[in-house]
């Protein structure tokens, strides 16, 4: 009994935190969302009038939901891409409200709900794209194709830039897009961890945290043919089974679900973009936008962004260790990659493995000067990629992005192989009193070991699974 009271108390604190002090008003909304009446969410908006903040965006519910179409991207982070993973599937959600006020704010007893919900394979709108779009050169070199498709459109390292590009491709395929939410399949395994195993209708499979990835890949690749709906059908069945399980869940499970979503938003594993600039500003303020963020005043910044262009699921078995050595005059960055995949070209029933064909981008302050870039035992030269098929591993490129610079190059790790990537740059900001650095974590990437060495002394050795700041005095 005591344990239950502790858990319940913790849940109330979580709900209160989400509500910004709204207490049971917030709990009422959360309870409505997770109830069987999911298609007709109803609450009294005036209950939130006395709140300091209220639930994020709750005062703009009508503006957010009424006659809006949202795309939820399902990214497979075992094939890592800049915003989390390969976009294999998506969910289309259309919501509508009734009884809106003249200014489109929510009215008393506002009724909002889901009008349409559908899970679809990414290749469906992809095949409806009319015209030709030149791809980023790394995509052209890796895949030997001269066109850019929706499935590869989450290319930019900054979700603020990537999301409008993704939306554009969807719109060319006939979709109306008012917002995009990007999640990774890892979130599904987390849900299974809370809710327990599920058995999708019409399938003999039992889906658990341990079997989900393999089953999803099995139904995506085995007996695949152009126009096949098997991946969509399986993921849709899993989604329906999970949704039913959510509706049947108890209070403690619902609290865990709310906490999970909140944690994943804070970790940057759920990314949100609204076409409406007012709504997007709210998302930006809460750092849910997947943006590069701000450079710390007088400080350093490090963001390692990997892109698997091997058309495989090699990221299951990639280990990386990052060491940053600095003395306030120069920084030496070393990334050790270990590819633990046993097979170069895995075939069913083994779906994981392969060489890691990684286009790597390292983002650092624009103010620093690059001295050298090295992959393995080869020093690279700063030179643009050529418009050719086949990867060019002898060069790197530099792109200016506001107060940052993005250094891009190939870092290929063969199956069962090991390589070191080394970047040396001069620091043009000198603060004798302290050194600070922001280390960003790429969505979908496993946690990695980060070592900070300052003036020859090991300052920090940490597992990085979210954006983290370090200060050395």
Distance, in Å, from the CA atom of 165 to the CA atom of 104, rounded to the nearest integer, reads 28
Q: Are residues 210 and 315 in the same domain?
A: no
Residue 289 has pLDDT above 90, yes or no: yes
Q: Are residues 269 and 194 in the same domain?
A: yes
pLDDT tens digit string along 20-53?
Answer: 334 334 444 444 444 433 333 333 334 333 333 4
Structural domain includes residue 293: no
Among 340, 303, 309, 297, residue whose Cα is nearest residue 423? 303
Element (H, E) at 192: helix 185-195
Q: Which domain holds residue 95?
A: 2-285
pLDDT tens digit string along 125-141?
Answer: 887 777 789 999 999 99
Domain stop point among 260, 285, 310: 285
Residue 235 has pLDDT above 90, yes or no: no
Structural domain includes residue 68: yes
Q: Are residues 241 and 374 in the same domain?
A: no
Residue 9 has pLDDT above 80, yes or no: no
- DSSP letters spanning 221-275: HTT--TT--HHHHHHHHHHHHHHHHHHH--HHHHHHHHHHHHHHHHHTSSEEEES
Token pair of 31, please? 């309870």
Q: Are residues 239 and 386 in the same domain?
A: no
For residue 439, what is the domain's CATH number?
2.60.40
pLDDT at 349: 64
Mean pLDDT of all residues belonging to the chain: 82
Q: Are residues 140 and 232 in the same domain?
A: yes
Q: With contact defined as beta carbons under 8 Å apart, do 388 and 141 qualify?
A: yes
pLDDT tens digit string along 136-166?
Answer: 999 999 999 889 999 999 999 999 999 999 9
Domain count of the chain? 2
Domain stop point among 285, 319, 348: 285
Distance, in Å, from the CA atom of 436 to the CA atom of 131, rounded to the nearest integer, reads 47
Residue 301 or residue 129, greater confidence = 301
Token pair of 468, please? 């983290």
Among 375, 370, 436, residue whose Cα is nearest residue 407? 370
Q: Are residues 19 and 58 in the same domain?
A: yes
Structural domain includes residue 24: yes
Burial of 219 by CB count in 10 Å (0-12 exposed, 13-18 middle, 19+ buried)? buried
Q: Are residues 270 and 386 in the same domain?
A: no
3-state secondary structure of 182: strand
Structural domain includes residue 291: no
Residue 232 has pLDDT above 80, yes or no: no
Domain stop point among 285, 313, 343: 285
Q: Are residues 321 and 387 in the same domain?
A: yes
3-state secondary structure of 116: strand
pLDDT at 113: 62
Distance, in Å, from the CA atom of 17 to the CA atom of 23, rounded to the nearest integer, reads 8
Q: Are residues 281 and 390 in the same domain?
A: no
pLDDT at 245: 86
Structural domain includes residue 295: no
Structural domain includes residue 59: yes
Structural domain includes residue 292: no
Angle among Cα 366, 372, 374 to the nearest 5 degrees reads 120
> Directed axis angle between helix 251-267 and helix 185-195, to 10°?
160
The mean pLDDT of 424-433, rounded to a whole number, is 76
Binning pLDDT at 50, 70 and 90, where does residue 422 land?
very high
Residue 103 has pLDDT above 90, yes or no: no
Q: Are residues 252 and 365 in the same domain?
A: no
- DSSP letters spanning 40-99: SEEE-GGGGTT-SS-STTGGGHHHHHTTEEEEEEEEETTS--TTSSEEEEEEEEEEEEES
pLDDT tens digit string along 238-286?
Answer: 888 887 888 788 888 888 888 888 889 889 999 999 999 988 998 898 8
Q: Are residues 9 and 136 in the same domain?
A: yes
Structural domain includes residue 313: yes
Q: Are residues 227 and 280 in the same domain?
A: yes
């Amino acid at each position: 009994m005591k344990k239950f009271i502790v858990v319940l108390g913790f849940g109330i604190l979580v709900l209160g935190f989400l509500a910004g002090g709204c207490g049971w008003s917030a709990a009422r909304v959360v309870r409505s969302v997770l109830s069987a009446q999911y298609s007709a969410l109803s609450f009294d908006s005036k209950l939130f009038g006395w709140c300091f903040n209220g639930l994020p965006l709750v005062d703009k519910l009508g503006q957010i939901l009424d006659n809006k179409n949202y795309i939820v991207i399902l990214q497979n982070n075992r094939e890592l891409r800049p915003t989390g993973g390969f976009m294999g599937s998506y969910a289309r959600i259309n919501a509508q409200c009734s009884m809106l006020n003249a200014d489109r704010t929510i009215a008393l007893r506002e009724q909002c709900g889901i009008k349409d919900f559908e899970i679809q394979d990414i290749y469906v709108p992809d095949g409806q794209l009319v015209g030709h779009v030149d791809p980023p050169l790394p995509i052209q070199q890796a895949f030997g194709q001269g066109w850019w498709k929706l499935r590869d459109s989450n290319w930019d390292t900054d979700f603020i830039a990537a999301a409008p590009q993704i939306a554009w491709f969807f719109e060319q395929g006939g979709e109306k897009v008012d917002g995009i939410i990007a999640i990774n399949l890892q979130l599904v395994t987390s849900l299974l961890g809370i809710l327990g195993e599920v058995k999708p209708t019409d399938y003999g499979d039992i889906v658990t945290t341990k079997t989900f990835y393999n089953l999803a890949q099995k139904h995506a690749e085995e007996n695949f043919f152009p126009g096949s709906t098997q991946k969509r059908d399986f993921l849709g069945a899993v989604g329906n089974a999970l949704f039913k399980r959510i509706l049947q869940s108890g209070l403690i499970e619902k609290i865990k679900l709310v906490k999970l979503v909140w944690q994943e938003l804070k970790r940057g594993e759920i990314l949100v973009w609204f076409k409406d600039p007012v709504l997007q500003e709210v998302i930006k303020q809460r750092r849910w936008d997947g943006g590069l963020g701000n450079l710390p005043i007088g400080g350093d910044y490090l963001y390692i962004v990997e892109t698997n262009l091997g058309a495989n699921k090699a990221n299951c078995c990639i280990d990386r260790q990052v060491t940053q050595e600095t003395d306030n005059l120069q920084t030496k960055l070393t990334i050790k990659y270990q590819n633990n995949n046993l097979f170069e070209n895995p075939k069913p029933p083994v779906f994981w493995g392969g060489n890691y064909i990684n286009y790597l981008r390292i983002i650092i302050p624009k103010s620093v000067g690059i001295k050298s870039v090295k992959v393995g035992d080869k020093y690279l030269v700063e030179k643009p990629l050529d418009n050719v098929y086949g990867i060019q591993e002898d060069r790197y490129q530099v792109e200016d992005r506001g107060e940052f610079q993005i250094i891009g190059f190939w870092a290929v790790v063969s199956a069962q192989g090991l390589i070191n990537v080394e970047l040396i740059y001069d620091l043009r900001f000198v603060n004798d009193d302290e050194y600070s650095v922001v280390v960003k974590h790429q969505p979908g990437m496993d946690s990695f070991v980060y070592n900070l060495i300052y003036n020859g002394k090991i300052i920090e050795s940490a597992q990085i699974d979210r954006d983290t700041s370090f200060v050395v005095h």
